[in-house]
Amino acid sequence: MKKKFADDIDAALAVNPDLYGFVFFTNVDVTPADEAELKKRGLGLGVSHIEIVGRENMRLYLDSPTGLSTRYQFLNITMSDEEQKVFFQTYGAKLENVILNRFGYIESRLERIEFLQDSTHPIDRIGMVLIFSRPVSAREIADAAIRLNIYVDLRHWSKDYGKDHARMLWVATKTRADPQRPNFVAFDNYLWTTTFDGGDLATIDCAHPEWREDPKLESIDLFSYHVRGRLPFTGLLDLDRRGVTAEITKNLLDKLANIWLVVGDYIVCKIDVSPDTPTTEEEFITVVEKTGMAHINAFRQVASVRLKELWPNEDQPQNWVKLAGDGHWRSPEINFESYRPERLEKYLITD
């Protein structure tokens, strides 16, 4: 064993005179004195790290839970029932995680491919899903309003200004109660486009009412249908790198939890609405940097008077709260490279 060690380390140094480490395996027993002698010889030859693996070291490894798989795979030694129990108690959870993560990765890649395929199809519907923080009655949310603004792609705005696909899109809804039926509320849906400076307002879909009767409303979906070819963008990929801002009336701030912007079959972004929202621009920027576009936190700010022109019969702009963005140049942007939108059907409950 000692002669073999000497021959092997000399041969290794002949190939690499600057050898740093040398590991020696042997199938005989190595006493502590033998190991010390061999290491001393190697260190004397200028090798900084010497490791001796003798028969006892290998036996301890192969008999341990760590070595059971090695023994089975390379030595064809089957595991007893007791050894199998020990092995799966030690590595069962890790094996399960590896399998699940692998399947999860494959599923995620397939969903990404499916999204890229669907994103080339023309958009036929657009709208929002409102998730309430608690069950609300129709009367509680009467005389409220929400509007989302999808900005142009600011990367190409200067060269595309004035073109149809460079227009901004407003997705909005207003609620009104029925004086004769206290549990009824109407959601009037609107779609507008406008230029970057807020002029040339054009209507795509206006005052399309949806009456709902529910004393305990938990969520509601509001869509404009048959909009193919009428929007300032054609497919989902045209939304990439566009900014989004949102506004709600203050009477919704303690009742609304989330606003989902839905385009086609996909939730393009989720906007969180919380009473405990940032109150300064600095706090808002910090939140956006941490959470990204997929879940935008609200930013309390009174909407500008200019927005009055974009809402019929709006006479109290000071009652609005601006969410998810502070103007054209600072609104969070949709970025399909950083996240993949989820299908809306994932959240639908079927009978």
Check if the beta carbon of residue 126 is closer than 8 Å to that of residue 150.
no
Check if the beta carbon of residue 130 is closer than 8 Å to that of residue 219.
yes
Q: Running DSSP on this structure, what letter comes out for residue 78? A: P
In the beta sheet, which residues pair with residue 169? 150, 193
Give 151-200 pLDDT, tens digit per residue: 876 665 555 555 655 788 888 888 888 778 777 888 888 888 877 666 67
Instruction: Give pLDDT, residue 281.
Output: 54
Instruction: Give pLDDT, residue 197.
Output: 64
Structural tokens at position 292? 């990204």
Query: What is the CB neighbour count within 10 angstroms for residue 303?
Result: 20
Check if the beta carbon of residue 279 is closer than 8 Å to that of residue 304.
no
Q: Running DSSP on this structure, what letter comes out for residue 144? A: -
CA 282 to chain centre: 23
Angle among Cα 271, 189, 288 to the nearest 5 degrees reads 15
What is the side-by-side order of every strand in the sheet holding 242-249?
202-213, 181-194, 168-178, 145-153, 242-249, 320-323
Check if the beta carbon of residue 324 is closer than 8 Å to that of residue 298.
yes
Please name which of 317, 280, 327 lies closest in space to residue 299, comparing C-alpha atoms: 280
Q: Which of 83-87, 96-100, 117-121, 276-280 has the lowest mean pLDDT?
A: 276-280
**How far is the C-alpha of 283 from the C-alpha of 278, rounded, in Å?**
5
**How far is the C-alpha of 302 from the C-alpha of 145, rounded, in Å?**
14
Mean pLDDT of 301-326: 43
Instruction: Give pLDDT, residue 72.
Output: 79
Instruction: Give pLDDT, residue 16.
Output: 92
Q: Provide the b/e sequence for 242-274 (b: ≥16 CB within 10 Å).
A: bbbbbbbbebbbebbebbbbbbbbbbbbbbbbe
**How far is the C-alpha of 304 from the C-alpha of 94, rounded, in Å?**
55
Q: Provide the b/e sequence for 19-49 (b: ≥16 CB within 10 Å).
A: beebebebeeebeeebeeebbeebeeeebee
Query: What is the CB neighbour count within 10 angstroms for residue 334?
Result: 23
Query: What is the pTM (predicted TM-score) of this model?
Result: 0.58
Q: Running DSSP on this structure, what letter comes out for residue 302? A: B
**According to the per-residue pLDDT averaged within each range, which of 92-101, 232-241, 303-312, 335-344 is highest?**
232-241
**How far is the C-alpha of 249 from the C-alpha of 173, rounded, in Å?**
11
Confidence bin at 10 (pLDDT 50/70/90): very high
**How far is the C-alpha of 182 from the C-alpha of 179, rounded, in Å?**
6
Q: Provide the b/e sequence for 110-124 (b: ≥16 CB within 10 Å).
A: eeeeebeebbeeebb
- The residue assigned the tokens 């706090």 is 283
Q: Domain map of the chain by residue range?
A: 2-90, 123-347
